Each structure stands twice: as C-alpha cells, then as structure tokens.
Amino acid sequence: VFIFGNVQQKTMEVFYDGSAGKVGFAPGGCS
Amino acid sequence: KVAESHHSHSIEVSSLLPSASCIPSTKVLSNNDDKASLKVVHKHGPCSKLSQDEASAAPTHTEILLQDQSRVKSIHSRLSNSKTSGGKDVKVTDSTTIPAKDGSTVGSGNYIVTVGLGTPKKDLSLIFDTGSDITWTQCQPCARFCYKQKEQIFDPSQSTSYTNISCSSSICNSLTSATGNTPGCASSACVYGIQYGDSSFSVGFFGTEKLTLTSTDAFNNIYFGCGQNNQGLFGGSAGLLGLGRDKLSVVSQTAQKYNKIFSYCLPSSSSSTGFLTFGGSASKNAKFTPLSTISAGPSFYGLDFTGISVGGKKLAISASVFSTAGAIIDSGTVITRLPPAAYSALRASFRNLMSKYPMTKALSILDTCYDFSSYTTISVPKIGFSFSSGIEVDIDATGILYASSISQVCLAFAGNNDATD
C-alpha cells in the first residue's frame, strides 16, 4: 500500500471520525 | 521560519534541524466534557523525558530509516499474509512461537503521550500508534524480560483495579484479529503476543485496568496487555497505545464517550510539542475525505488518494496507480511510501524544480538529497495530495524534507518496490 507517514503529517491537525467514516486535515494544527 | 509564496516555501536552512532545547507549542490544551487532550512529544527529542535516559540514546538517522523500512515491510507482509496469520499459540515464556511477519514495526520515528494506569494511578509514557491495536505496558514481575524504561514498571499486584482475563473468555479470542496471533493460556489466564517487523515483541497477560487520560477522563476495565516478556526497540517508553480500528483498540474501547473521534498534531520538530485529543470537534478549516477499508487489513485507516501536485502542478499519474495499491495513514511510519510510478514522477518534478541546488549522497531509503551548507535560505516547491472526495491538502514545509545535517537534506518520500504494495 501507499503509506502516508508521520513526517508528512507534521503540524497538520489530523482528525479521525471512525463513526462517520471520515478523516480531516487542517493546516497549522499545533499552534 | 517559513515564508509562503503561491507554489513554494522559503525556508531558513538553520531551521531544518531541531533546537537542542524544548520549545513547547503555544497551543493551549483544553479539556471539557467532550474531549481529553494529551501532550505529544517526539520520543528522542528534548521535550521527551525519555531522551535523557542513557539507555534510550537516540538512534542515527540511518537507523531510524532502516527501522522505518522494517515497519513498512511488515505492513505489506501483514496485508498480503492476512489469511494465513495467527497459526500458533503464544506462551509467556516463549517468544519464538510468534510469527515474525505479523504486527508492525515500532520503529524510532515515534511520538509518545503520557497516560495513567491502575489504582492508584501510575503515569506511563506510551508510543501512540494508529497502525496497531493492542495497548500494552511492561508489567512486574517481568517473568521473562523487561527492557529498561524511564518510568517505574507497572505492577498489577499494587493496583486495586487490575483483573486478568480468563482464556475461556470470548474477548481472549478477539486477540487473534488485534494482534495477528492466536492467544495462549497460562494457569487459565489469557496470554497475548505481538511481534513487530523489526523483531521487537511483547508477550504477557491480557487484563483489564483503569485507564486515566486526563484528570477528568478515566475509564474502568480497559483491555490491555500486561507484558512479561518485552524486547526490542521501544526506546525507554513504557509500551504502546494502540489507536487502530479493531474493537480492542483504545479508540473502540472509549467509543461510548468519544464516538471513535480522535485527533492529533505532530510537532514540526523533535524540539517542539503537539497534542493527541480524544473526542471534540475538528478545526473550522479542516478538509474532510472518507475513510476507506483495506479488506486485507481492516484495522488500518484507509484513504483514497487520487493525485499529487508539486510546485502547483498536478503530476501526470494515472488514477489507477493509486487505486491499484490502496493507501493507509499511519502515525508510526516515518516516511511516506508511494507506488513506484507516483514516486518516480514526484522525484523527477522535485529534482527539476530544485536543480539550482547541489545534490549529495543518498540517506538510506532517501535518494534525493541536497547540500544546503552554502545557503541561508532555500526555496522548496509545495507538495500537495488530492483525494477521491475532491479535496486537496498541501503538506507543511516540515513534511517535505528530512534533514540529517545541513549538508544532507533529503526529499522525505520513498517509493515502494512493487506497484501492488
């Protein structure tokens, strides 16, 4: 598989909603 | 230290390496009825108390990348061998009965959070991992072996809320899907075993315990592994926090309160901090795409990527390149692995746009590296991903490059060997 690793996830807020079956990405999530 | 233009990032070269001291995030972590937030730190950075432990000295970048490759190999193996896993029972005293190809490598590029376990509560720093399911910690009396960890090893005999799971319990059998291994039995107690792709492993008793996330959020009777034989590259942490999609993951076990919602932000460098939040809502500027399911590995979080752009230009990659391979998002894999055709297109475009900078030798799996020692500022093309839902997400400047030193800074992507990987 294509694996989206943690270096590429840096500083984004990665939001998992397992019930609704979706993932969200928001830039500048750490500050 | 990054200036934005439309299609590129302008980066101060000195900011490519982490600071020697911890510079915590300015974000205030709020907790309320709906959510619980924990601080995230890099395992080997100055913000981690583990990094001060001489027994958990930071690995080199080459070691980190080799361990990352072990994790990726094991994920591929786990997916391709999913129908044949779980063939042997596990025993507390015998790690060799665990199939080496199952589970996923812990690796070194990992992030940790501190949670409380037991009554009274003991604080434990656990690697958090969306690519695995079982939460475990080292337990006294360490019947076979415990590696050196920074905090005191958890002792279930000193906790009033610990209970062993019986091997006749149906939940014991659930370990097969969560670990890839058939559980064992010792004096009627359920025995779990998980082995990671780099040969790290944990074997021990499967039990329940009180898990405290924050001062206001605690859960009784959370299933977890009480490790009696733990060996490998856990770097001074006390174990793992499994955030996968299996019913034994912490996400599933706390679903009644948080509805399987969690989020995190991984810090820009090992000298800053991020967060892991259970529950709550997404930022207003979040873009959403559906989760997909990889049939051979349903506990992974699948994503439907459709394209890549570099410097504002979408690369000519057939959508079938992405759909053939499938994709997952994993907090425990360091470097993104692309299908071979996608990686070669990304690399060619990136090298073209970076042609004014001198290239240097490869760093392990990273084959596009530059010597920036003659520069104070560099311009790096933006890289973005598109998804089947139609959204496009630009990754941060800190996610494009991996710096070993200023004279060896590499494109932080690698290709898979096989288009179907």
How far does A18 lie from chain B, in Å, by closest CA? Answer: 5
Q: Chain A contact for B148, CB < 8 A?
A: no
Q: Calculate the alpha carbon distances from B27 to B3, B37, B302, B310, B394 in Å.
A: 21, 11, 29, 30, 22
What positions of B carry a catalytic annotation? Answer: 129, 330
How far does B59 lie from chain A, in Å, by closest CA? Answer: 17
**CB neighbours (10 Å) of residue B316?**
8
Nearest CA in chain A to B243: A16
* Residue B13 in this model has a pLDDT that exceeds 80: yes
Judged by CB atoms within 8 Å, which residues 72-101 of B form the interface with A? Answer: 72, 75-76, 79
Instruction: Quote the DSSP letter at residue B412.
Output: S
Instruction: Give the span between the Cα atoms of B31 and B36, in whole angstroms.
Output: 5
Average pLDDT of span A2-26: 95
Q: Chain A contact for B276, CB < 8 A?
A: no
Inter-chain residue contact A13 with B263, CB threshold 8 Å:
yes
- Mean pLDDT, rounded, of chain B: 88
Tens-digit pLDDT profile for residues B108-166? 458 899 999 999 999 999 998 999 999 999 999 999 999 988 899 999 999 999 999 99
Give the number of beta-carbon pairs within 8 Å between A and B.
187
Q: Pick from B273, B286, B327: which is nearest to A26 by CB? A: B286
CA end-to-end distance (rounded Å), chain B:
36
Please report which residue ranges of B17-99 form alpha helices under DSSP H: 61-80
Please report which residue ranges of B86-203 form alpha helices under DSSP H: 170-173, 175-179
How far does A20 lie from chain B, in Å, by closest CA? Answer: 9
Please report which residue ranges of B299-339 form alpha helices under DSSP H: 319-325
Dig out the tokens for B350 from the structure: 């990136």
Average pLDDT of span B404-409: 96
Instruction: Give the span between the Cα atoms of B355 and A21, in whole angstroms.
Output: 41
SS3 B306: strand
On whether ipTM exceeds 0.90, the answer is: yes
pLDDT at position B165 is 98
Instruction: Confirm if B297 and B78 have CB atoms less than 8 A apart.
Output: yes
pLDDT at position A31 is 81
Inter-chain residue contact A19 with B275, CB threshold 8 Å:
no
Average pLDDT of span B313-326: 93
Tens-digit pLDDT profile for residues B168-221? 999 999 999 999 899 999 999 999 999 876 678 999 999 999 999 999 999 999
Contacts of A5 in chain B (CB under 8 A): 68, 330, 333-337
Instruction: Determine the residue among A22, A25, A31 to mutate to test chain B binding: the one whose Cβ has the most chain B Cβ atoms within 10 Å.
Output: A25
Instruction: Give the span between the Cα atoms of B139 and B385, in whole angstroms.
Output: 42
Nearest CA in chain B to A7: B399
pLDDT at position B119 is 98
Identity at B202, one-letter amino acid code: S
Instruction: Give the span between the Cα atoms of B192 and B224, in whole angstroms.
Output: 9
Instruction: Give the span between the Cα atoms of B176 and B194, in whole angstroms.
Output: 10
Instruction: Quote the DSSP letter at residue B292.
Output: B
Identity at B69, one-letter amino acid code: Q
Contacts of B60 (CB under 8 A, 6+ apart): none
Instruction: Confirm if B64 and B414 have CB atoms less than 8 A apart.
Output: no
* Residue B93 in this model has a pLDDT that exceeds 50: no
Phi, psi of B196 (to 5 degrees): -105, 165
How far does A12 lie from chain B, in Å, by closest CA? Answer: 6
Contacts of A14 in chain B (CB under 8 A): 263-265, 329
* Residue B50 in this model has a pLDDT that exceeds 80: no
Average pLDDT of span B306-332: 94
Dig out the tokens for B382 from the structure: 């933006």
